[in-house]
Amino acid sequence: MGLHEEDGNAYERRATYLVMLDFYDSFLDKIDFFKGILKETPGVRFILINLPGQEGTQFNPFKGQKRSLNNAFLAECLDLLLFHLNERGIMDCLQDEPYGFIGFGTGANIILHYLSMLQTDYSSTFRHALLFNPFLSHQ
């Protein structure tokens, strides 16, 4: 993983956490909270994800294509985001960088759905999912 530098201080990245809030929450209101945690935990990184339809985002399906904002569609968006982060070199979730998920409410539901549909082997770098109030039901 190598050393990273921030504010003139070198550190080794220990983990990345992808954080998804409940549908009616927004990270625009929570950024200071996570900045406070980062000051206490060098080497940890949070990627705060707002979903389509949340504050500061928009949802524009392709013309003629009817898509609803359900767990399957939003889990697909999460998969595309991870692919994009990996392709851009922002996060190496396929080989090198340990990562986990933190989800609240609807965000926890989407993470559960994503993990259940996962076909690619991320097991070497995926560490854990911390889920709060994921609205589970037995099928």
Name the CA radius of gyration of the chain, rounded: 16
Per-residue pLDDT band at 1 (split at 50, 70, 90): very low
In a domain, 89, yes or no: yes
**Residue 139 resides in a domain:** no
Single out the residue of 80, 78, 86, 123 nearest to residue 102, CA to CA: 78
Model pLDDT for residues 33-90, shown as the tens digit of each residue: 888 888 888 788 899 888 776 766 766 666 667 777 788 888 888 888 888 888 898 8
Encoded amino acid at 105, one letter: G
Residue 2 confidence (pLDDT): 42
What are the percentages of helix, strand and coil residues in the chain, rounded to 5?
30, 25, 50
Does residue 47 form part of some domain? yes
Q: Does some domain include residue 90?
A: yes
Tell me the two tokens of residue 86. 């990996």
The H or E element that residue 4 is part of is strand 3-6
Mean pLDDT of 112-119: 83
Q: Is residue 6 part of a domain?
A: no
- Report field, pTM of the whole predicted structure over 0.95: no
Distance between start and end Cα atoms, the chain: 40
In a domain, 32, yes or no: yes
Residue 104 structure tokens: 């609240």
Model confidence band, residue 18 (pLDDT cutoffs 50, 70, 90): very high
Task: Tell me, yes or no, whether 119 lies in a domain.
Answer: yes
The enclosing domain of 86 has a CATH number of 3.40.50.1820
Task: State the total domains in the chain.
Answer: 1
In a domain, 36, yes or no: yes
- What residues does 16 pair with on adjacent strands? 45, 99
Contact assessment for residue 110 and residue 78, using Cβ atoms and an 8 Å cutoff: yes
Say if CB 2 and CB 89 are below 8 A apart. no
Host domain of residue 125: 13-132
